[in-house]
Structure 1
Amino acid sequence: MPAVDYGRAEEITRTLERRLVERLQSNVTATRRSVLGGIGVAGSAAFGVSRSGASSGGHDDHDGHGGHGVVGEFEDADFDPHEYLTAFNTGRDGQENVRQDVYEEDGRTVREFELAAVDVPITIAPGIEFDAWAFNGQVPGPTLRVVEGDLIRVKFSNGSRHAHTIHPHLRNLDPTMDGVPQNGPGALAPGESFTYEWIAQPAGMHFYHCHAMPLKEHIHRGLYGTIIVDPDPDRVRENPRDYVNYHGPITDEYRDELVEVARSRNHEYAENDDVNEMVMMMNGFDTNFDGDNEVYAANTQAFAYGVGSTDGNGNWEAGETKRPIQIDRNQLQRVYLSNVIEFDPINSFHTHSQFFDYYDHGTTLQPTLKNVDTIMQCQAQRGILEIDYSDHEPGLYMFHAHQSEFAELGWMSFFEVV
């Protein structure tokens, strides 16, 4: 039975992906509605329904946007959505394309990172490129991971043809460091640089992005990333009410419980090793620049966490670019999730066959929603999901946006529980 399930999942993924790419290649000016019309119902498409004809039409590529190739494996060697999931830049460890350091200064831990804005084509579906503006050449930008109370020092340089900033969704007390055109250095012109400094507060999952105008274009083009501020267990012990939406008595037992949760969220503590953590940024791409997205994804590449060829025993044969997210059912799964979609009011995350706890913005150590299987996020909203598959049978478990068109246009994925 598992081999049949894997085969069906692979067929659905390949069918949806092929039809999406064919529509984008044959008629770049098609709206997302016409793309969906060609795709049809996922289940039927995967089992013999013929492809409906696409209307022909030219593409006036006056801006030079969008390069198109053949359907196949992703070819963008500079960004792997599977590696991105767990690429936490802490000052000590992280990605090769992020220069970083950690040191003490005036009695405070400083975590220093170098980010540069560049113009670069990125792969969003097999053979489909998008002209992005990106931090350090990748979309999403590098994940910065720090500890509550640290000084975050970001040395930013603008290597793009456009003016850019970095705006942090943190509790920032200095308006000159807000990263908006009206304050501090303003929008940095091409070739300019500036060093931003922010105190890492509050604990939680946060967001950074360019705040230059027109804002929707700078975000849509890819200038965004995640800042994870790990809670400081000592601060939690001293001020537990800052981390919970709870007005009852704080007993010693309850205080100890909160400290233990904080330790499991902090990458510098051994308790964190018992949790499998990953970052997902839900995004979309308007490939014909008509104000509607034609491609949706988690971490940029459509269907990257779908199913390729496999022997059904966890051995993937489709290369490194398309496979489910393999997880150990004996580990708690913690997903740092954020929505950066442009041109749509909301995005969502839905798990099949499982419910999870949700911490809105990650600023509390108790769930803000408990035992749910679907959450919605507006743009820039983020949160932490904790999912437990310990009592599930091994196999494939789908997760996706529960806007059906988003799922059929790329935002459909699988966990492989082993």
Structure 2
Amino acid sequence: MASFCFYAACVIAVFASNNAGTASASHLGCPSNKFQCDNGKCVPITWVCTGIDGCGDNSDEKNCDTYECPHGYWKCKNNRCVPVEWLCTDINGCGDNSDEDKCDTNRCIMRRGKKLRTFSNTKERIKFPCKYNAVRNTICGSWKVTLTPGNAIEADKNKRYVVKTMWLGLERLNDSMKWEGRSDLKIAKKYINGQKAEPFNKKDGALETNQILSFAASSSDDEVTVYEKSAGDFVVRYGQYMPGDTWHRRSGFEFICLSDNFQPSGYPDQICGNGTKDEVKAFKKSKGYRESRQAVLFHEVFTNDGIIQTDSDCKSTANAISNKCQTDADRWNAAKLCWPVVGKSHFQSCITHNIERPESAMRHCVEYVCSRCTDPNSCLALSEELDGCMELEGVSNYVRSQCAPNLAIAT
């Protein structure tokens, strides 16, 4: 493996069947990734149920309807077992394409920390350094799933976003039993390096991790795989990036529901939407908003009481919009005026050049606008952060007139 430092890892949650029975008996004398033939020979699991006699005695082609794939493998419609890493790769791994069946309609994917493709294949930009409701209370198979990523601005190149944390919440539909866990870049990295037994820290719920999940890691792909032990319902990937590199495709996540029982929540409950084309655009139109869709996303995330922000600037931003803004019109005004300080690269670069943090500028901007541009403390703080930057429309001139007459505005 190349010698590079990685700050994140990928977490894949795959719900694949693993019941005891003939499958367990078949592997008693072979490693877990091998199938034991009746003649005692060990062959790769991927040779099972392919229509080709891999064992030499055809035992790898017997009982295919009832054969149960072991941990780490997914059962195709043609009964073949393939590694879960093959799911939704745009390659026909099963031979009948069932590993790619639902990957367009039931798939929400984030790339490079900010480029989101919803269940409808609509592209959205998630450009704020806080937690957001990617998947929330979506029914997939036997589970209700919540996936809450947390973004951060990459320190080396401040124009970039990195998925830094991941919250996974599961509720079993038949008995409402829950499991909730958290991962972040350090936890996932330690798991891949063999320093942790699991890539998630359980935080809540009556279900025990080993009752419903098992894990595997691939250091060559910098991926962690999490398997639910009963149904084969969905996949979640949580990705890695290479700091300072020209791109970091793996800095993201992916949620794919592989079950026919797929009932996604709509926008704004979850940003991944319900598969209806242009969910954010339609929501924006229904509200009569004329500004950027990124302003709409910013507004909905920071007015959502169901998202518990843990970063201090994110928490203060949400608190300001919820409690310091007096009206819904004030809240919308704060979102549309302040999102550019973290959503537009020239503001991020300028604020960082001023030895300030874009996350802090976001907070002070929202606090200032929510005060209807009367709060002297947020005004002064924002003036330091915006000094020498391009005009932040609707804000910079107020700052100059209220508290910073010498505020420089670049042209």
TM range (shorter): under 0.3
Computing the radius of gyration from Cα coordinates, the structure with the larger value is 2
Structure with the higher strand share, 1 or 2? 1
| TM-score, length basis structure 2 | 0.26
Q: TM-score, normalised by structure 1?
A: 0.26
> Higher helix fraction: Structure 1 or Structure 2?
2
